[in-house]
Amino acid sequence: MVQKLYVTYNDVHKLCQEAAPKLLEEVNPQLMIAIGGGGYVPARILRSFLKRPGSANIPIQAIGLSLYEQLSTSTDADVEEPGTKVTRTQWLDLSALGEMGSLVGKRILIVDEVDDTRTTLEYAVKELEKDVELARAKFGGEAAKFSVFVLHNKDKQKKGTLPKEMTDSGRYVAARTVGDEWICYPWEATDIDEHDRNAAAQKTKE
């Protein structure tokens, strides 16, 4: 039986609020890039807590990466297993950014819901760094500084890696580190009332 961790919208809101001071201190992002679909909600919530008085809202861009594949042999329709290949389903909206050169020299925060095998995060960081470096070769300027925020980091052997300079300098932030269990996020629920009941029942057992 797969162990499940039910996370509510309130949980997500509070995790973002809790992580915001560290992100402001260590990252101070000028742009967020949400990995869809799990990064959309935390990125939007974070924006409220990262906004400094008198400053504009931090822009949010989105990329789509697919790694999970439905288990055809599982009796649990909600549970998927990590795939082995990252598929790019959506990339940066250059019409909104102007062009890739606008990312040169920026402090960019990549947001996702969970760091599972780290394969998706590794792909996102490497591909975004590659694109910005190509733009820097064309336009000049300083290198962009990428950081990562996730709601949950699973304490398990990772298949992907992140730059050592990122992890050593506080530019990788996980709101919580949990065991290797299936995390049920509210935006995946088809019945949000049942989801919240499961989350409440889970909390009473803790």
Residue owning tokens 């050593």? 168
Is 116 considered catalytic here?
A: yes
Q: How many CA atoms lie within 13 A of 101 on its CB side?
A: 7
Q: Which of 11, 112, 115, 116 is catalytic?
A: 116
Would you put residue 187 in left (φ > 0), alpha (ψ -120 to 50) or beta? alpha
Residue owning tokens 């269990």? 181
* CA–CA gap between residue 154 and residue 170 (Å, rounded): 18
How many residues in the chain? Answer: 206
Q: What separation in angstroms does the CA of 64 have from each of 47, 67, 189?
A: 19, 10, 20
Residue owning tokens 């925020």? 149
Question: Could you say which DSSP state residue 29 is in?
Answer: -
What is the distance in angstroms between the CA of the first residue and the CA of the last residue of the chain? 19
Which active-site residues does the annotation give?
116
